[in-house]
Structure 1
Amino acid sequence: MLSVNEGSNNLVRAINNRLNALSFHIREYYWVDMKKINEIYRYKTEEYSMDATNKFNIYPEQIPSWLVDRIPEEGGYLIGNLQPAHMDFRFFTLGNLWSIVSSLGTPKQNEAILNLIENKWDDIVGGICLSRYAILL
């Protein structure tokens, strides 16, 4: 929506730099797959430094028991919210599909999201249909 010309070159460069940083942050810290879950299980807690592995002070006990069964080995997704010491592990279909359309995830992450949707189609679509049916009641 921004035309590139001499006057806007610096602004376009600043936007692209910011988008790269934002994309990295989301891809790195909001991504959950089996590899990431295994990493979280090994996190040390109460780390406060620039070199901390557990940057958000997440406790492994916060991982819900249903999560390991829900994610296929070749699947993964972007979580909905991340705040200090808390991760929201619910799967948001629309948000993850939008991340694919907007190229927010890497190609590998995009494929993993689609694999998760394909493998858990009945659960995801069934959940959507049940929630819409409940609204009608």
Structure 2
Amino acid sequence: MSGRSRSMDRRVGQGVYGYPIEIQALFFMSLRCALLLLKPEAEGNKDIMERIVTRLHALSYHMRTYFWLDFQQLNVIYRFKTEEYSHTAVNKFNVIPESIPDWLFDFMPSRGGYFVGNVSPARMDFRWFALGNCVAILASLATPEQAGAIMDLIEERWEDLIGEMPLKICYPAIEGHEWQNVTGCDPKNTRWSYHNGGSWPGNKC
């Protein structure tokens, strides 16, 4: 294997776990773009393209299965059993049902869904992130049904996600002790500032 192939293999062969939705969606889009740009007849490209296709399948399965949340999946998570460790475990990441935030039950409509912020052992970041979900649609990381559900969610929760301003970057904003722990009391990231639920200035067109 050439040096170029080994370098590409390291990038493409990295795991699909532990990254937030926007990183996963952008990575998926970059892999699809690479697949279009590479010439199959060039030396070493066939092997690279096969590895890209393998990674695309793994990443799309991981995201569509474990990051997706709608009303039906919320009910499944709410009834999760913990401490399951065999390959037959339903709760693959040992998510604790008590970690579901109270705001989510009011936010999640019966029609619609979205990709959560992140999934890691024993914890899910249930917040809505606009960039990751929008890029997931553009990159076809979301299935057609999921893409439609994301748009349905935006329509159903228009006042929360858009209201009188451009699309909020995330919802809801974190505050109180959680804000102190996550941001280190950074005044730039106060409640509803740009990095804590603020709007996208670029969307004022």
Using the TM superposition, give the Cα deviation of residue 128 of structure 1 relative to its aligned residue in structure 2, in angstroms.
3.0
Letter in 2 for 1:4: P
3-state SS of 2:193 partner: helix
3-state SS of 1:104 partner: coil
Question: Pick from 146, 151, 155: which aligns with 1:118?
Answer: 155
Q: Deviations over 1:59-81 (max 9, x none)?
A: 11111111121111121000111
2:136 aligned residue: 99
Quote the Cα distance in structure 1 between the aligned partners of 2:42 and 2:132.
Answer: 36
Quote the Cα distance in structure 1 between the aligned partners of 2:157 and 2:193.
Answer: 17
2:193 aligned residue: 131
2:74 aligned residue: 37
Higher radius of gyration, 1 or 2: 2
Q: Report matched runs for 1:1-137 at 5 Å.
A: 1-5=37-41, 7=43, 8-126=45-163, 128=168, 131=193
Quote the Cα distance in structure 2 between the aligned partners of 1:28 and 1:108.
Answer: 13
Using the TM superposition, give the Cα deviation of residue 57 of structure 1 relative to its aligned residue in structure 2, in angstroms.
0.5
Letter in 1 for 2:56: L
Native 8 Å contact 2:130 2:168 kept in 1? no
Using the TM superposition, give the Cα deviation of residue 10 of structure 1 relative to its aligned residue in structure 2, in angstroms.
2.1
Quote the Cα distance in structure 1 between the aligned partners of 2:84 and 2:127.
Answer: 25
Which consecutive residues of structure 1, in runs of 5 or more, have no partner in the other structure? none
Instruction: State the aligned residue count.
Output: 134
Structure 1 runs (4+) deviating above 2 angstroms are: 126-132
49-58 or 117-126, larger mean C-alpha shift? 117-126
Q: Deviations over 1:48-107 (max 9, x none)?
A: 111111110011111111112111112100011111000001100111011000110111
Quote the Cα distance in structure 1 between the aligned partners of 2:71 and 2:99.
Answer: 15
Which consecutive residues of structure 2, in runs of 5 or more, have no partner in the other structure? 1-36, 170-191, 200-205
Quote the Cα distance in structure 1 between the aligned partners of 2:80 and 2:168.
Answer: 34
TM-score (norm 1): 0.89
Aligned CA RMSD, in angstroms, stands at 2.0
TM-score (norm 2): 0.61
57-66 or 4-13, larger mean C-alpha shift? 4-13
Quote the Cα distance in structure 2 between the aligned partners of 1:43 and 1:79.
Answer: 17
Letter in 2 for 1:105: A
Letter in 2 for 1:59: I
Q: Deviations over 1:14-68 (max 9, x none)?
A: 2111111110001000001111111111111111111111110011111111112
